[in-house]
Structure 1
Amino acid sequence: MVNLVCEAILPDCPMKDVEEIEKSIMTTYKKSIWAKFLKAISDFDMIQDGDKIAIGVSGGKDSLLLVKLFQELKKDKRKNFEFKAVSLNPGFRNSDLDNFKNNLDKLNIDCDIINTNIWEIANEKAKDYPCFLCAKMRRGILYTQVEELGFNKLTLGHHFDDVIETTLINMLYAGTMKTMTPKVPSTSGKLELIRPLIYVKEADIIDYTKTNGIRAMNCGCTIEAGKTSSKRREVKNLLAELEEKNPGVKQSVFNSMKNINLDYVFGYTGGKEAE
């Protein structure tokens, strides 16, 4: 049976000191997270000298890790770039927002929070399924704010599993063959979106989060919490079943996006847009 409830990730212990958490990135998770983060940046030439990079922080496990990785990267004095954590509050409950701010403080993350009422507006205008409108509004506001602050790049916390889930969602429900790319220009063309976690598996991010005692924000959204079905949740569970029966299925889906033979498709279109 498909589980449509957004499950919380419970830490295994109280949050460790930030120094110990940072050390774990370069020791315990050096191979599974740090090396893959560096490889993605290198493979896709994501960062250049003089870049001003905004890091989109949702408060979840992926974006909190992403900021810590950039903090470690910045310690390399050969890297000439600036970065700043930026968060969009779509209307979190006070308890969720307090937990988010507490995590930022304990993890030594300086983050600008942009307060909005996106969830309220989306639920009013599209009550049956507000996800599309919500996502569109969040992207529009975040991109605009980041551009106005003078950044030329926005980095997002999408990981390996997000890529393969998006691939299948587009195939199964949209009838198209596309996925999240490592970097892509924003709709306005003023920003470049980059995804340095594209090689990092969600299971390793979860392990890092739990082992270090980080109580990352769960979905505050009523849609993901089970108000209606989530196509991403359905696909995630389908992939888990397939991977259990045939280890390597996820990697094959990921690799397929690098091995498209245009001689064996009915047709194709060109052009990129920010996902």
Structure 2
Amino acid sequence: MASWGKLTFAQKKCVSATGRLMQGTGMVESGARIGVAASGGVDSFLMLKVLTIRQAIMPFPVELMVLHINAGFDTASHAPLTHWCASHGLSLHAELTDYGPRAHTEENRKNSPCFYCSMLRRKRLFELCRDYGLTHLAFGHNADDNVVTFFMNVLQNGRTDGLSAHEPFFDGRLQVIRPTMMLDKGTVIKAARQWELPVWENTCPSNGSTKRDEVHDWLRQAWKNDKRIKNNIFNAILRHQVHLTCQKL
């Protein structure tokens, strides 16, 4: 039996679907040094767990380094991540910032708090990838995130764009990847619970009341009485984004 033990159906789905997407889009290659953006939420923690398994399965060596940017609402919230990484032999850079509180002040007059905080955290992640010589930055976006982003772009920007599975930044010096983009939120939550991942609550005061939340609620109403509608939307947008990803590479 493998070192990670026997997997449940949900766990197998997470590992296999992630592997298919990584192979199909050529996400990583031998010697890749992957920064794993871990917020402490269920999506990024599940991705981190799955990537540790995929790392052992891959036919070539890759490195993983966990990157955590604490937004500043709870200065000690990342303690479970610190302990988890130590017990799994993973390198971790955890950094405390004031990005969250600043996003809710007069400093941020033009954008939503979520957008502003996310922008600052992503900028810092890019800087850390540069400083540590990382070749890839992995985000834990799932299929639900892809669908919501697609409809937000349609409704607000008039564009038919979701999330890229694999996208080069800085003239190709950094590859942004989303290995778990084929997984629906329900599977992510179920597998994370079965692995007993130490996920912690998002204490941001804007959590649950963003424009993204509104669009997600609207979509849930659209498919709540017919599961086929949800599956068709998810599959259509996933195929669209993976096709675009492969065209760009």
TM over 0.5: yes
Question: What's the Cα RMSD here?
Answer: 2.8
Counterpart AA for 1:237: D
| Distance verdict in 2 for CA 1:61–1:107, change over 3 Å | farther
1:183 paired with 2:186, answer no
Picking from 178, 184, 192, the partner of 1:209 is 192
Distance in 1 (alpha carbons) for counterparts of 2:61 and 2:3: 25
1: distance between equivalents of 2:221 and 2:90?
37
Amino acid aligned to 1:146: C
Establish whether residue 23 from structure 1 lines up as the match of residue 5 from structure 2.
yes
Q: Which residue is 1:123 aligned to?
A: 104
* Residue identity (%): 22
What CA deviation, in whole Å up to 9, does each residue of 1:185-208 have, x standing for no partner? Answer: 235642110111011111011112
Q: Which amino acid aligns with 2:231?
A: Q
Give, in whole Å, the separation in 2 of the partners of 1:63 and 1:210. Answer: 13
Instruction: Give the drift of 1:58.
Output: 0.6
Give how far 1:27 is off. 3.8
Query: CA, structure 1 residues 104+51, in 2 after alignment: closer, same or farther (shift >3 Å)?
Result: closer
- Rg larger for: 1
Normalised by the length of structure 1, the TM-score is 0.77
Deviation at 1:53, TM superposition (A): 0.9
Q: 2:65 touches 2:90 (CA, 8 Å); kept in 1?
A: no
Cα distance 1:90–1:187, how it changes in 2: closer, same or farther (>3 A)?
farther
Alignment length (residue pairs): 240
Q: Structure 1's 117 and 30: CA in aligned 2 closer, same or farther, altered over 3 A?
A: closer
Q: 2:69 aligns with which of 54, 69, 88?
A: 88
Contact 2:143/2:183 (8 A) holds in 1: yes
Counterpart residue number, 2:236: 256
Task: Note if contact 1:100-1:217 (Cα within 8 Å) is conserved in structure 2.
Answer: no
Structure 1 stretches lacking a partner, 5+ long = 1-19, 261-271
Distance 1:259 1:156 in 2: 19
Check 1:30–1:207 CA distance in 2 against 1; reply closer, same or farther (3 A cut): closer
Q: State the partner residue of 2:148.
A: 165
- TM-score, normalised on structure 2? 0.84
Cα 1:168–1:73, aligned 2, differ >3 Å: closer, same or farther?
Answer: same
Q: Is the 8 A contact 1:56 1:155 kept in 2?
A: yes
Alignment check: 8 A CA contact 1:21 1:212 kept: no
Match in the other structure for 2:222: 242
